[in-house]
Amino acid sequence: MKFKWSIPLLALLSLGLVSVLAKGEKDTTKKQKSWPIFRGNELQTGVASTKLPATLKQLWTFSAKEAIEGTPAIVDGVVYIGSYDGHVYALDLKKGTEKWKYKAGPIMVPVSYHNGRVYVGDEDGDFHCIDAKKGTGIWKISTEVEITSGAAFSGDNILFGTGGEELICVSSAGKRLWKFTVEGGPVKATPSIIGDRTFVAGCDSTLHVIDIKTGKEVSSVELEGQVASTAALDKDRLYVGTMTDQVLAIDWKKGNIPWRFRPKRGRMAFFASVALTEKSVIAGCRNRRIYSLDRTKGTENWSYITKDRIESSPVVVGDRIYAA
């Protein structure tokens, strides 16, 4: 039996939502009307500068033939989304109508947009570059293993992770520039980028600091826990949750961990990526709680209990937090 999967898009988020009032939170990123990559920007902070109404309502529903699990990219009034039915769809943001669809393989990861092109990888191991206006393929490369992360950008270069334990960097022409291997498992986190540095962690319980120009490791930090989520960045610090019930603040330049947060009860994995505001780190946990942590000290400001595990990454919009 085949099922049709649908996705109601409410500006930035999909599926069942929890909205938490978070007074005092402020956007630390530049004002933008688009959401081109997984967590909105190259620092992966998960903070939107747009507005949402106090009470949300479903505006439209788009149906695909199989599951939609990756985050959409939203640019210039167009929603770009991938489905396990093997297609990338471009949808009108206001109406939800299909503008075009592109045939790929089954897609489980976020779609990314950069300089008029849409980028996404599939379960068949192909990484696609698509013309955003026409919906036609520009190039694709094969990695021979499933693509397990969204794409991020450093200048014209594209970075993404694979199930073959690799972080890969390719040029805008689709030429492979370098790869970095993380032992023990897939690279699931969409890369965070600051200056000429990117970061990768996985089943080896280590944060690797990578020079984007060369693909070489410049330093590393032991994390004492596996990582499946994308890290949020600000200057010298990186914030990430682990599969061993911790949220970490990491000084990636000094190579140390200023603080660790572990819940007092209900210790479970932080599978979702954190959001980073001016004062707080917002983390969703599989213990059914959303946490606000003091960004400087790592102490708990508050926690909010939900009805089920938080596995989608929280997004901050104004003074509210949205999570599914």
* pLDDT single digits (tens) 306-323: 999 999 999 999 999 999
Q: Check residue 246 and give its pLDDT.
A: 95
Q: Check residue 11 and give its pLDDT.
A: 39
Q: Check residue 13 and give its pLDDT.
A: 41
The DSSP H or E segment spanning 112 is strand 112-114
Q: Check residue 30 and give its pLDDT.
A: 47
Is the pLDDT at 16 greater than 60, yes or no? no
Is the pLDDT at 15 greater than 50, yes or no? no
Is the pLDDT at 7 greater than 70, yes or no? no
Please, which pLDDT band fits residue 51 given cuts at 50, 70 and 90? confident
Query: Is 162:146 a contact under the CB 8 Å cutoff?
Result: yes
Is the pLDDT at 104 greater than 90, yes or no? yes
C-alpha 66/C-alpha 184 separation (Å) is 30
What is the rounded average pLDDT of the residues 12-37? 58
Q: What is the pLDDT of residues 225-239, one digit of tens each?
A: 999 899 999 999 999
Is the pLDDT at 254 greater than 50, yes or no? yes
Q: Check residue 302 and give its pLDDT.
A: 97
Query: Is 52:317 a contact under the CB 8 Å cutoff?
Result: yes
Q: Check residue 32 and give its pLDDT.
A: 57
Please, which pLDDT band fits residue 21 given cuts at 50, 70 and 90? low
What is the rounded average pLDDT of the residues 78-91? 98
Sign, CA dihedral 110-261-233-169, equals negative
Q: Give the DSSP letter of residue 239.
A: E
DSSP per-residue letters across 274-298: PEE-SSEEEEE-TTSEEEEEETTT-
Query: Is 39:232 a contact under the CB 8 Å cutoff?
Result: yes
**Within 13 Å, how many C-alpha atoms sit on residue 317's CB side?**
20
Q: Check residue 269 and give its pLDDT.
A: 92
Lookup: tokens for 30: 């530049």
- Over its C-alpha atoms, the chain yields an Rg (Å, rounded) of 18
What is the rounded average pLDDT of the residues 197-218? 94
Averaged confidence pLDDT in the chain = 90
Cα distances (angstroms) measured from residue 91 to each of 3, 228, 232, 262: 21, 29, 28, 41
Closest CA to 225 of 209, 249, 201, 208: 201
Please, which pLDDT band fits residue 264 given cuts at 50, 70 and 90? confident
The DSSP H or E segment spanning 181 is strand 176-181
Please, which pLDDT band fits residue 59 given cuts at 50, 70 and 90? very high
Is the pLDDT at 206 greater than 80, yes or no? yes
Q: Check residue 33 and give its pLDDT.
A: 76
Is the pLDDT at 9 greater than 90, yes or no? no
Q: Check residue 50 and give its pLDDT.
A: 87
Is the pLDDT at 94 greater than 60, yes or no? yes
Please, which pLDDT band fits residue 18 given cuts at 50, 70 and 90? low
What is the rounded average pLDDT of the residues 148-165? 96
Q: Check residue 17 and give its pLDDT.
A: 57
What is the rounded average pLDDT of the residues 6-26? 49
Lookup: tokens for 323: 């999570």
Query: Is 160:126 a contact under the CB 8 Å cutoff?
Result: no
Q: Check residue 116 and give its pLDDT.
A: 98
